[in-house]
Structure 1
């Protein structure tokens, strides 16, 4: 019997690499004949994981983390027809059945059958169905024929694995934020947040033909990373209002569309930069987006935040200026990215050298045993995307 290890959330600020059970093709007491077991090739640390590790969700102790997974099929259930042992595959972080009304129209982020608590599920995430996460050596993936994206050539894929590993979440999520905000050829865009999703969004804006991509953040190193691939930047620690900083770049204090890649742990701008202000980004993007413009919101907002600064925010109630957005006829799109809507096209963009997404988000490959350090460095604001290599396959 193979052994398995995974990254477990222990308590706020603490994760550990632990021995965990080797996955089985089972859902509770019944056999999961539509599933596969993967040997993990790469699995990434996500900002959404960091929310849990900071104690900002109701995640239980012992949860095995990780929803950004790329792996090699080592076992397949009897009912799996089109995925075979030996295939190298990308795993959407959304777990979807492929059978419910939402899945059938492409809304795989809110599948109705894979989470008894609410629509939508994910690996290794609080309130998302109890599925074991993939920051491990092996993981079980259900509904394999529907969920998995097979790479057409494994050798070609391994040569670009640092890019392709980002197809499980942040590249499609950033792209989704840009698409739903209405980014297109000639757009002037503001991207709030220069973490990995924000950087992936900014790179996606370029891929979609944006004329100017402006990225805002509080961390100078992240802004410097954004500038490495042609973004303009604004320093949100500055006392100069955001609109004025945008005007200094494009001549007017507004943009065509904006994307919130920060979420509920947002801080204030200027003198408030040291204080948590969870509605700051939502209000700021409404202020600077032109009348009739679009706002994409892939940044995470939660219904339960025990570490929030006030009682309302603890249940996800924020003081947003919805009247401003209404008056300017803004469109808003929120929620999980339906990864399967985009991942095949984005795979091709990578394979045919239309984008270098790993370079844009500054991927650093680490061992599974270095995952604790990866979480610590990420929490300190490192301008990197940490990719875990559990079996040394990327290094090799």
Structure 2
């Protein structure tokens, strides 16, 4: 039997690379998955959502394998798989979706009704249905014919793997945030958060034709990366109101669209600002114009084990909703339904329409054994996107 190793959560700010069982075509409840495949993992990324778990802010059992951003080569297929073949190179949406329930049929694969017995939402490497994470050498994916995005040419895909590895989550998530906020030709957009999702949102706004793309954060090295990549920035550590900073860029104090790429671990404004989970949402209500839109793919959770207040610990926020109401703004929130976008984004990448993506995402490939240190570095705010290459596949391809 081929061995397998993975990144295992051992408690707040503690992860280990351990030997784990080789995957079987079986779901978390022991039911046979003849509709599934086993992948040899080519790349598996560390996500900001993994950091919520790493910090102990998103409930997860000790011993859980982490990771939900997976690209791999098919090495075994179940008897019910018709269209995915051994040897195919595929991208795995982080949402686990059956393709058979009402929500999946309506393209809401983020809220599949059958992959989590507790409530409609399944995902790898979270406490959402018991699906093991994919920061591993080998990984099982159910409902393969429905879920997997096959790359049309393996050699071409490996040449672009630094961009295509983002299709499992953060690129569709950033794009989704822009789409649901109404970003389009000539629009102006403020993106809260210069982490990997925020940077993908900036690249997505560019693809969608925005005329002005402004990214805000408190992390100086991330802001420098965004600025160097050709986007406008606002520094939220300054004691200058956000609207004033936007006005200094646009000449007006509001934008057409806003995207929350931060979520519930947001901080307020100022050099020593404390954590304030509703800060980004209130910012967007303030600086998005009358009739403008807000996309909120940033994670909010209930309960929030480390919330700064009793309300926050319950996942409850204090929002300036009256302002949003009188401004007739619209908003949409929740996980990204990756399958709604990943094929189109793959084609944009392969067609050379997003050649600017690599600069702003700033990927660093690492080995599986380097993952614990990468978690620590990412937790400290490094302006990188760490991508685990468990079999040294990217170097072999190069």
- Does TM, normalized by the shorter one, top 0.5? yes
Aligned to 2:311: 312
Q: Which position in structure 2 is the counterpart of 1:116?
A: 117
Q: How far apart are the structure 2 equivalents of 1:271 and 1:379?
A: 19
Q: Is the 8 A contact 1:5 1:20 kept in 2?
A: yes
On the 8 A contact 1:166/1:358 being kept in 2, the answer is no
Residues 183-262 of structure 1 mapped to structure 2, 5 A cutoff: 183-262=183-262
Describe how 1:1-396 pairs up with structure 2 within 5 A. 1-27=1-27, 28-126=29-127, 128-271=128-271, 273=273, 275-356=274-355, 357-396=357-396
Aligned partners of 2:14 and 2:145: how far apart in 1? 36
Contact 1:43 1:70 in 2 (8 A): yes
Instruction: Provide, for residues 352-392 of structure 1, a one-character-per-residue CA deviation record: whole Å limited to 9, x for no partner.
Output: 11103232211110000000111011001000000000000
Deviation at 1:229, TM superposition (A): 2.3
Q: Distance in 2 between matches of 1:323 and 1:164?
A: 41
- Give the number of aligned pairs: 394
CA contact (8 A) 1:35 1:144 kept: yes
Cα shift readout 1:323-352 (whole Å, capped 9, x = no counterpart): 111111111110000000000000011101
8 Å CA contact retained: 1:173, 1:337 = yes
Secondary structure of 2:393's match? coil
Q: CA deviation at 1:57?
A: 1.7
The separation in 2 between residues aligned to 1:324 and 1:22, in whole angstroms, is 53
Greater mean alpha carbon deviation, residues 184-193 or residues 302-311: 302-311
Tell me, in whole angstroms, the C-alpha distance in 2 between the residues paired with 1:4 and 1:175: 33
In structure 1, C-alpha distance between the alignment counterparts of 2:58 and 2:293, rounded to whole Å: 29
CA distance in structure 1 between the partners assigned to 2:272 and 2:178 by the alignment = 27
Give the 3-state SS of the residue equivalent to 1:234 in structure 2.
strand
Separation (CA, whole Å) in 2 of partners of 1:299 and 1:11: 23
- The structural deviation recorded for 1:139 is 0.5
Residue 227 of structure 1 and its aligned partner are, at CA, apart by: 1.4
Query: Structure 1 unaligned runs (5+)?
Result: none
Q: Is the 8 A contact 1:45 1:375 kept in 2?
A: yes
User: How many angstroms does 1:272 deviate by?
Assistant: 5.0
Aligned-pair CA distance for 1:81: 0.3
- 2:210 aligned counterpart, secondary structure: coil
Report which stretch shifted further, 350-359 or 89-98: 350-359
Q: Does the 8 Å contact 1:36/1:76 carry over to 2?
A: yes
SS at match of 2:331: strand
Q: Secondary structure of 1:262's match?
A: coil
Give, in whole Å, the separation in 1 of the partners of 2:160 and 2:10. 33
TM-score normalised by structure 2 residue count: 0.98
Distance in 2 (CA, whole Å) between partners of 1:139 and 1:388 is 14
Rounded Cα–Cα distance in structure 2 between residues aligned with 1:57 and 1:233: 29
Contact 1:361 / 1:385 at 8 angstroms: preserved in 2? yes
Q: Between 376-385 and 264-273, report the one with greater CA deviation.
A: 264-273
Task: Using the TM superposition, name which of 310-319 and 75-84 deviates more.
Answer: 310-319
Q: Is the 8 A contact 1:191 1:214 kept in 2?
A: yes
For structure 2, list consecutive stretches of 5 or more residues without a partner in the other structure: none
Structure 1 position 228, deviation (Å): 2.4
Secondary structure, aligned partner of 2:310: coil
Output the CA distance in 2 between the equivalents of 1:169 and 1:97. Answer: 18
CA apart distance, 1:271: 4.8
TM-score by length of 1: 0.98
